[in-house]
Structure 1
Amino acid sequence: MADEYVSATAVSTATNFIMEQETTYTRTYRTYLRLRETGQLDLKFWHSNAVDSTWDVGNTAKGSMSGGEWVIESAYVAVSGHKRDGSIIPGSAIKVTFDGEVSKEVAPAEKFWSDSVHIDLPAGHELVFSWTISAYAGKSFTYNTEGLLVSAFEAEGNKADEEEGALFTSSENRLVLPAFIGYKKQVREEIIFLGDSITQGVRTRKDGYEYWVSRIADGLGPDYGIWNIGSGWARAYDAATDGPWLAKSKQGSIVALVLGVNDIDIGSRSAAELLNDLSIIIRKIKRNPERTGVRVILFTIPPFNFAEEREEVWRTVNEAIRTHPPEGTDVVFDIAEVLSCPAPEEHRIMPKFMSNEFDPHPNGEAGKEVADAFLEWFREQNL
């Protein structure tokens, strides 16, 4: 991203939903984030007022849908205490400004940066990002809806600098964050993980950072930038439209592409359609004139307990990825091999890796297995 800022967290900041209400309101959103480094940090925030990927069948939010008009009334970064209860350490809140102003009117589809902000984040503490948003009736700002992977809170009114947690209530499925939370850092590579809920880490333990992208970030260390833009319900054909979501992936020097589950499932794509969408994505990344020499890691499609026609599509696409991947693919990482049951049940995820007996989303144990395999594999590659 701009001025050598790289993602400060492994938490996904992708959007798959849009706020829609009948009346104007003002509300504060506060999120606790474990950053990849602590100490003296130069932070900067970037936002894209658009939906990245389609939620469900797209009745409310579709990939590349523009956000509406809304206002940032105030924004702050602060230091967490020893509890994630909506409170911050007294005196630690620092204003975030936009072109020197404390407030910012946001236009549909607008992309914008904050000013830089300096904070001393002690080891063992998390960054708390709070912003107060005023939204008009109708559709306004975009966000991510899913079971949350981090602690997030909401409060009515302008409470972005509030130190006590009593006024805040816990959010269950609404993560309202800037699209990019960056810190100034020189890195060897900027790796972007473009995927769905499996990449995002959905169903792993809240505040546990045990999904595989987070574990990979820990294993590689801060010399590698890691930006997670995995998004629940996302599909390859969202990215293939070359909209705001794919534009984010083009910022990386290495792009890891982990898509296909939702294309096969809710998207009902054929093997040919899915392979064509993956080819388009890779071609758009490779031919980006603003960043040349980008390497693409294409993952096989993780097992998701598909059956009948969907199982056949899964098998066909993975065989193609392993033997004749789309043009422009630099290397293939076989995530399915790590997670799958032994043949002939390899289309099924190992039961021990399921988040529960009915849900094939990978759990934290699966996150460790995938991360360990990826790190060993990655260090052998000539990337």
Structure 2
Amino acid sequence: MSVALPADGRAGTSAVQPGTTRKVTFGGRASTVVPVGAQAVSDPLDLGLRPGSNLTVTLYLADGQASDAVTSHPGSRTTSYMTSGNHVDDPDLGGAATTAHWYFLSGVEVLSKPAGAAAVVVGDSLTDGRGSTTDGNDRWPDRLLARLHARPETSGVAVLNQAAGGNRVLNDGLGPNASARFDRDVLAQSGVGWLILFEGVNDIGTADATEAAQRKVAEDLIAAYDQLVVRAHAQGILVYGATLTPFGGNSGYDDPDGHREAARQTVNRWIRTSGRFDTVLDFDRAVRDPERPRRLREAWDTGDHLHLNPAGYQALADAVPVRLFGPRRTSACARPGVGPTILEGGPTAPKGTGSP
């Protein structure tokens, strides 16, 4: 395995900047075996990264890998290059086959100043970035990061996008449900001071479109949110709840009798008024059509009436007050980052089990 800075600093490029390639080791060894469902943490590297830097990570699978046991992130919307043989030291893989997915890599931890902290975002395809630009890094968490780093007071805040397209809060779907992955994707992350919870539309959209089924899914979502708040607060993490955005007109989720819309309104009412969240982010209000509040604004709609385009994702980012990420009111259990790379072994897919 090697890590380098990509040519021109751009995501998804096939070439790396000359002289930046670093060999990755594991306990001093040049390679490792990742047990199924486990993680392997690399030795730290000194790269002198600037905030917001892109990285190129190159892996060689010496013994191959069964295709059904590959940890993957199909919704990464970033180009990967695949070819036969060991090419971890190659400066350019321009002739290799490409795919807009990530594999194996779970995350990168970066050593930061003691005042640094992370905001974790738990979500589905609306946070994973369906509708954003491949290799463009214009998902709403990317845009939020840019806003945070534009202010000296919040320039030390990292944003960890722990979203998976098609994911649900209550039941497994594309990837383990949000409740099941909460320990791994939130509590086990380093230096977490804040959690943004923006998930639930897939639970509503995949439940039967009957009054009884939608009443139950709304009640169950509220109970699950409450549990996640309790678990985060126990670790000194502030929790910001985001209202669910409209899906009126979507061929799969909208229903003629309005039972799913009623469930969305029930959930949003609880998010706004329960007082369980440290702050409410009203994403519904930020992107809905004022004339047709069951629908997204037309200019920000990708056309499926569920997902947003880059301008819509900018609107979500703009709806998050950056002052919320100032000095933490509580940080008893937050831990500073220590610099290793983390890999995950299949077949239990991690946070990147992707967008349809």
CA distance in 2, matches of 1:378, 1:321: 17
1:303 aligns with 2:246: yes
Alignment of 1:96-115 (within 5 A): 96-115=24-43
Shift of 1:170: 1.5
> Could you state the TM-score of these two structures normalised by the residue count of structure 2?
0.76
Change (3 A) 1:241 1:340: closer
Maintained 8 Å contact 2:289/2:295 = yes
Change (3 A) 1:123 1:372: closer
1:248 aligns with 2:185: yes
Alignment of 1:256-267 (within 5 A): 256-267=196-207
Q: Which residue pairs with 2:158 in the alignment?
A: 225
CA distance in 2, matches of 1:155, 1:324: 52
Q: Which residue pairs with 1:286 in the alignment?
A: 233
Maintained 8 Å contact 2:240/2:280 = yes
Alignment of 1:1-383 (within 5 A): 75-82=1-8, 84-120=12-48, 126-133=54-61, 134-137=63-66, 139-146=68-75, 148-172=76-100, 174-186=101-113, 187-221=115-149, 222-238=155-171, 242-250=179-187, 251=189, 252-268=192-208, 270-287=217-234, 291=235, 293-305=236-248, 306-307=254-255, 308-325=258-275, 327=276, 329-342=277-290, 345-355=292-302, 357-375=303-321, 378=324
CA distance in 1, matches of 2:52, 2:263: 46
Shift of 1:122: 8.2
Q: Which amino acid aligns with 1:235?
A: R
CA distance in 1, matches of 2:156, 2:265: 36
CA distance in 2, matches of 1:313, 1:110: 37
Answer with 78-87 or 186-195: which moved more.
78-87
CA distance in 1, matches of 2:289, 2:38: 45
CA distance in 2, matches of 1:240, 1:169: 32
Answer with 258-267 or 300-309: which moved more.
300-309
Seq. identity, %: 22
Shift of 1:233: 0.6
Change (3 A) 1:87 1:382: closer
Shift of 1:81: 1.9
CA distance in 1, matches of 2:77, 2:31: 28
Shift of 1:110: 1.4
Shift of 1:128: 1.1
Answer with 367-376 or 226-235: which moved more.
367-376
CA distance in 2, matches of 1:179, 1:347: 36
Name structure 1 gaps, 5 residues minimum: 1-74
CA distance in 1, matches of 2:51, 2:118: 24
Shift of 1:139: 3.2
CA distance in 2, matches of 1:318, 1:139: 38
State the SS of the aligned residue for 1:117: coil
Shift of 1:188: 4.1
Shift of 1:313: 0.8
CA distance in 2, matches of 1:241, 1:375: 25
Count of aligned positions: 299
CA distance in 1, matches of 2:146, 2:95: 34
Q: Kindly provide the CA deviation profile for residues 303-336 of structure 1, in whole angstroms up to 9, marking residues without a partner as x.
A: 22234221111111111211225x4x21111110
Shift of 1:256: 0.6
> Could you state the TM-score of these two structures normalised by the residue count of structure 1?
0.71
State the SS of the aligned residue for 2:206: coil
Q: Which amino acid aligns with 2:69?
A: S
Maintained 8 Å contact 2:168/2:178 = no
Change (3 A) 1:180 1:154: same
CA distance in 2, matches of 1:124, 1:188: 14
Return the structure number with greater relative CO, CA threshold 8 A, min gap 6. 2
Q: Kindly provide the CA deviation profile for residues 57-111 of structure 1, in whole angstroms up to 9, marking residues without a partner as x.
A: xxxxxxxxxxxxxxxxxx1011222475422234432111111111111112213
Name structure 2 gaps, 5 residues minimum: 150-154, 209-213, 249-253, 330-356
CA distance in 2, matches of 1:245, 1:125: 26
Q: Which residue pairs with 1:72 in the alignment?
A: none
Change (3 A) 1:160 1:359: farther
Q: Kindly provide the CA deviation profile for residues 263-285 of structure 1, in whole angstroms up to 9, marking residues without a partner as x.
A: 11125562111112212222222
CA distance in 1, matches of 2:322, 2:182: 29
State the SS of the aligned residue for 1:237: coil
Q: Kindly provide the CA deviation profile for residues 162-183 of structure 1, in whole angstroms up to 9, marking residues without a partner as x.
A: 22324422213x2115212121
Maintained 8 Å contact 1:240/1:281 = no
Q: Which amino acid aligns with 1:261?
A: V
Change (3 A) 1:162 1:359: farther
